[in-house]
Amino acid sequence: MGEIILKTNDLTVDFKVKKNVFGKADRLSAVHNANIEIKKGEIYGLVGESGCGKTTLANAILGFVPITSGSFEAFGHTIDAKTGAAEWKDARRHMQTVFQDPYSSLNARFTVWQIISEPLYIAGERDERVLCERAAALVEKVGLSLTDLDRYIFEFSGGQRQRIAIARALITNAELIICDEPTSALDVSVHSQICNLLLDLREEFGLTYLFISHNLSLIKHITDHMAVMYLGEILESGATDEIFKNPQSPYTKALMSAILEVNPKEKRERIILSGEARSPINPPNLCRFAGRCGEACELCHNAPLPDFKKIGDDHFARCHLIGKGK
């Protein structure tokens, strides 16, 4: 692992939403000044509760939603709100996605080989024999058989559909695979099978993953680096094992307490979040977690969230309490 293949620079995505009867547009701050760095060959986890902006961050990188401000660097390109379509397309061809729901993300009218090879078709390959051969080469890699190629998606279980979606993500030899909650819609019994498949394929094809999940146990198990996001803002990031050993943000601690309580050796108690979550619409320039944070002090309600502080070699967090002996 070494070279950085994707780096965001204060990436921000706002959505305009209508609030009042006069139709005045309000700003929904979905992602605010996000900075992540993904190294070649690693699994980078993005974790946080539903609605915190994980998918929007991925969508901004993929060009599915417009960037409001900031930029990202990937595969020799720097992409921002003003980048033209051709440059976007060139950066985008190095990335593919595996979505949360394999029931709705795959075209029910296509056969398996058509679904798997479609990204190659979109990239310009028109020879049906080549498309079919490339799909055949991948279908077994994801644990299905050649006889599945002519079947339709309704004939498969959720886990099998996600395997098809993974084969589809690999067909263009993309280097970065963005997996957005790839196991959330599946039975718990197949979660580990899909995760193990992703790990095996990383080895075999030298892949890098941005792995999005609201499930911190999964993030702990599978990722090398991670970022913890709350209401559009990254509060802690770095090496996954460093963060788990020494979490700094009260929000990270609360998320972790929910999974550590099952370990009887752990002394930590579960932190129940109370209070009201802030609205992402026109948020004030304060810590967005303040309304629910059990450790919030006066500063948290009156002063902007401070910048990231270095906690360890590969660990950063932002919170008013850091360095204050708490």
Site residues, ligand SF4 (CB under 6 A): 249-251, 287, 289-290, 293, 295-296, 300, 305, 319-321
Which two tokens mark 287? 């810590």
Which two tokens mark 231? 């209401």
DSSP per residue, 214-283: S-HHHHHHH-SEEEEEETTEEEEEEEHHHHHHS--SHHHHHHHHHHHTT-TT--PPPPPP-SPPPPSBS-
Q: Which stretch binds ligand ADP (CB under 6 A): 49-57, 72-80, 108-116, 166-174?
A: 49-57
Binding partner selected for residue 15 from ligand SF4, Mg ion, ligand ADP, none, CB under the kind-specific 5 to 8 Å limit:
ligand ADP
Would you count residue 4 as binding ligand ADP (CB under 6 A)? no
Q: Which stretch binds ligand ADP (CB under 6 A): 47-55, 129-137, 259-267, 298-306?
A: 47-55
Q: How many CB atoms lie within 10 A of CB 62?
A: 16
Q: Are 242 and 313 in contact (CB under 8 A)?
A: yes
**Between 192 and 302, whose beta carbon lies closer to ligand SF4?**
302
Bin 323: left if φ > 0, else alpha if -120 < ψ < 50, else beta.
left
Binding partner selected for residue 296 from Mg ion, ligand ADP, ligand SF4, none, CB under the kind-specific 5 to 8 Å limit:
ligand SF4
Q: What are phi and psi of 177, to 5 degrees?
A: -110, 125
Binding partner selected for residue 28 from Mg ion, ligand ADP, ligand SF4, none, CB under the kind-specific 5 to 8 Å limit:
ligand ADP
- Collect all residues with Cβ–Cβ distance below 8 Å to 145 and sequence separation of at least 6: 139
**Between 232 and 250, whose beta carbon lies closer to ligand ADP?**
232
The nearest distance, CB 181 to Mg ion, in angstroms, is 6
Pick from 106, 102, 78, 80: which is nearest to 91 by CA? Answer: 78
- Segment 55 to 84, residues that bind Mg ion, using CB under 5 A: 55
The nearest distance, CB 217 to ligand ADP, in angstroms, is 17
Binding partner selected for residue 293 from ligand SF4, ligand ADP, Mg ion, none, CB under the kind-specific 5 to 8 Å limit:
ligand SF4
Q: Which of 280, 287, 315, 319 binds ligand ADP (CB under 6 A)?
A: 280
**Between 32 and 320, whose beta carbon lies closer to ligand ADP?**
32
**Between 43 and 167, whose beta carbon lies closer to ligand ADP?**
43
**Between 17 and 146, whose beta carbon lies closer to ligand ADP?**
17
Would you count residue 54 as binding ligand ADP (CB under 6 A)? yes
**Between 78 and 302, whose beta carbon lies closer to ligand SF4?**
302
The nearest distance, CB 25 to ligand SF4, in angstroms, is 28
Which two tokens mark 234? 């990254």
Binding partner selected for residue 290 from ligand SF4, Mg ion, ligand ADP, none, CB under the kind-specific 5 to 8 Å limit:
ligand SF4
Q: Of all residues in this chain, which one has the CB nearest to Mg ion in the complex?
A: 55
* CA dist 41 → 4, 49, 225, 242 (Å): 10, 26, 11, 19
**Between 47 and 321, whose beta carbon lies closer to ligand SF4?**
321
Length of the chain: 326
How far is residue 130's CA from residue 148's CA, in Å, rounded to a whole number? 17
Amino acid at 13: V
Amino acid at 267: K
| 18: exposed, middle or buried (Cβ count in 10 Å: 0-12, 13-18, 19+) | exposed
Q: Which of 8, 55, 114, 160 binds ligand ADP (CB under 6 A)?
A: 55
**Residue numbers at the binding site for ligand ADP (CB under 6 A):** 15, 17, 28, 30, 48, 50-56, 280
